[in-house]
Amino acid sequence: MHCRTIKSMMKEVVADIQRDDDSVKTLISLEKALRSCLEADNVDLEGIDHVLPATPLQEGMLAEMIGSDYSHYFNHDVLEIEPHVDVDKLRNAFVKAVEESPILRTTFTQVSDPSLPFAFAQLVYSANFKLNWKEIDMAGRSIDDIFEQEKLEAIKSGLRSPPYRLRFLRSGAKRLLLISIAHALYDGWSLDLFHHTIATLYLGNSYQRPSYHSTLEHIINSASNEKALQFWKGYLEGVRPVSFPEKPGSNTDEIHRDGIAVKISSSNVIDFCKSQGITPQTLGLTCWLMVLAGYLRQLDVVCGTVMLGRDTVDALHSEK
């Protein structure tokens, strides 16, 4: 404990409260500035409840999605609907989920003002926003054809509406649900929360999603945290970025893919990780670093990985 008296503890508590208040004001002021910027650019904000800054991770995904013509980070999830499921009730559950989850009513627009530290803003539509649901008879069409059609329609629509689409597919007696959604709207953790929400609403139970504004404030403030920036500058001091070495005489336009069947069972891998007190991801990264060290002929190598971006209690319960 660095606070040895009640007086010094109270100073820290008051300082924390003031910092929290400042972060709230920061988000409010940013929304005001973003609205002014978009209105100056004649962006239609009718029916928009909130204009919020996009997070750095969202901006990276959006830039890659747009740059790749929606080939990257615009994902399709296909679920088979069991015979006993009532499709009308299922659709109503999704409608209710959109009403209760602002992130499912969110789209994005580019920010032109260079004085604002954001490339994109989030536009959150009001709760009465209409769900993008369509029923399709596949009639001999492949699922890949449907994927391509949805991608082309999403490109044509652009970001004028939320990049979240639901398609109820019929293929003979089989019923499928296709969820097409931009990765900027969800992560792996939120998928489980989303499915739980749909199940709860399908059963007729009420479900209210907590606000994620405090989490967004935390992310935005953390992204511009000078102490964090100085830490990483010091930690990575002397690190020299290098490109993965090319094989001599190889054709850079040629794609080569190979694979080796691992004889070690997953249960053995998990047991080993438990005995060493590490996760399978850590083991995988260690193997990858050994490969990098071999190719780069360096013993001291560094690589990055995207970890769970939910470092607050509120974030663990947010679908965003």
Distance CA 305, CA 156 (A): 33
pLDDT at position 150, please? Answer: 96
| 218-268 pLDDT tens trace | 888 777 667 777 888 898 898 888 888 877 777 667 777 788 888 889 899
| 13-35 pLDDT tens trace | 555 545 544 444 588 889 999 99
- The list of the chain residues with pLDDT below 70 reads 1-25, 224-225, 251-252, 306-320
Distance CA 216, CA 218 (A): 5
> DSSP for 149-167?
HHHHHHHHHTTSS-SEEEE
Distance CA 184, CA 163 (A): 9
Rg of the Cα trace of the chain?
24
Distance CA 320, CA 308 (A): 12
Domains and CATH numbers, the chain: 6-224 (3.30.559.10), 265-306 (no CATH)
- Residue 65 exposed, middle or buried by CB count within 10 Å (0-12, 13-18, 19+): buried
CB–CB of 121/38 below 8 Å?
yes
pLDDT at position 69, please? Answer: 95
Please state whether the predicted TM-score (pTM) of the whole model is above 0.85: no
